Amino acid sequence: MHLVPTADTIPVAWGWFQFLLLLTFPIHLLAMNAMLGSLAVGVIQHFKNDETGRKLAHRIAVMLPLVIAFAVNFGVAPLLFVQVLYGQFMYTSSVLIGIFWILVIPILIIAYYGAYLYDFKFSGLGAAGKWVGVFVLILLLCIGYFFSNNMLLMTLPDQFAQYFQNRDGSMLMSGHPAFLPRYLHMMAGSIAVGGLFVVLLGKFRADADPELAERAASVGLRTFFVMTLINVGFGTWYLVSLEKAQMMIFMGRNMAATASFVLALLLVIMVLVASYKKRFWPTFGATIALVYLMSFMRAWLRSDLLSEYFNLGQLVVEPQYSPMIFFFVCLVGGLVCVGWLIAKTVEALAKEAST
């Protein structure tokens, strides 16, 4: 007997939720990568103890609380949509790792306040500041560790029966063959993409501080190149750690997944060459496309892992489309407001710079 709960009904066809999930999840990933990766780069720069490195670390520290806010915020939408599509698996896996899953919240609060401390007291903290940065980084890596555990466990219902030996929610999947490569692939990718975010931060300050921008560009692109190269290794490890059936969906068993995989490999070569040649914008653009492609591949993998128990077509639709229209109207209105806020901020900053 499978320990898979019955799914609840959905109000619109599942494709809408899959679309929204795959639209918003890569945005969360990019924000999360900017948060984790830029902090890693910033802390290393902070340890270098030269003036430009310290300034770059400070710039990164100033941005950190904002990036955390958006990483969390853009995590909410995909977490919502994945619960609509796969709630019966994810609620279960969350309970099974309950203690660690709820620890994400206090750890995140501490990390977030740590980030504000690192930002607001960057100079005042002196040498201790860099250790605050390290502390926050470790906490964020810890959160990633718990997320990887949960996201892996939710795809492995055959492990669910372990609950009866661990009713207190103390299960972890760290021992599973796919766990470590999966976690390392995600974290190394975060640091790589974080490098690109550092370049971007430098570009915003290019006029005011060209030296900083130059350091940001060289450090950021080098980080990206090195970490992406390493990540090719982690990615390969992850791929071979999968059961053969799952590995084969990227090698001909599922044509769309295979095409995405091939395209992703080409993009990897492209970003490696472009970052090596210090060409930021092509690297940046291709990386965004790559993150989207990898998110799609992740979705195929999940769907294949769960296919023995469930497929999305089994979700029962009890149609009510008007709430979705309401959501899209709110989304457009929200984007207009955010656009207005950004425009007015840029305008005010430009005015301030000119005076």
Residues that bind another protein (CB under 8 A): 1, 3, 5-6, 8-11, 17, 20, 65-66, 69-70, 72-73, 75-77, 79-81, 83-84, 87-88, 91-92, 94-96, 98, 101-102, 104-105, 108-109, 112-113, 116, 160, 163-164, 167-169, 318, 320, 322-324, 326-327, 330-331, 333-334, 337-338, 340-342, 344-345, 348-349, 352
Between residues 47 and 101, which has the closer beta carbon with respect to another protein? 101
Between residues 38 and 275, which has the closer beta carbon with respect to another protein? 38
The CA–CA distances, whole Å, from 229 to 58, 235, 252 equal 28, 10, 25
Contacts of 272 (CB under 8 A, 6+ apart): 225, 228, 229
CB of 250 to another protein, least distance (A): 31
CB of 107 to another protein, least distance (A): 10
CB of 212 to another protein, least distance (A): 19
Between residues 28 and 215, which has the closer beta carbon with respect to another protein? 28
* DSSP labels, 12-72: S-HHHHHHHHHHHHHHHHHHHHHHHHHHHHHHHHHHH-SHHHHHHHHHHHHHHHHHHHHHH
The CA–CA distances, whole Å, from 213 to 204, 209, 283 equal 8, 6, 17
Between residues 9 and 123, which has the closer beta carbon with respect to another protein? 9
CB of 61 to another protein, least distance (A): 14
Between residues 14 and 276, which has the closer beta carbon with respect to another protein? 14
- The values of phi and psi at residue 10, to 5°, are -120, 155
The CA–CA distances, whole Å, from 288 to 157, 265, 323 equal 32, 14, 30
CB of 82 to another protein, least distance (A): 10
CB of 342 to another protein, least distance (A): 8
**CA pair distance 144, 23, nearest whole angstrom:** 21
Both tokens of 138, joined, read 């470790």
Between residues 277 and 344, which has the closer beta carbon with respect to another protein? 344
Both tokens of 71, joined, read 């990483």
CB of 244 to another protein, least distance (A): 30
Going 117 to 118 to 124 to 130, the CA torsion angle's sign is: positive
Going 13 to 15 to 18 to 24, the CA torsion angle's sign is: negative
Between residues 86 and 225, which has the closer beta carbon with respect to another protein? 86
Between residues 167 and 279, which has the closer beta carbon with respect to another protein? 167
CB of 345 to another protein, least distance (A): 5
Relative orientation angle of helices 14-48 and 280-305, to the nearest 10 degrees:
130
> Is residue 289 within 8 Å of residue 267, measured between CB atoms?
yes
Q: What is the number of alpha carbons within 13 Å of residue 139 lying toward its C-beta? A: 21
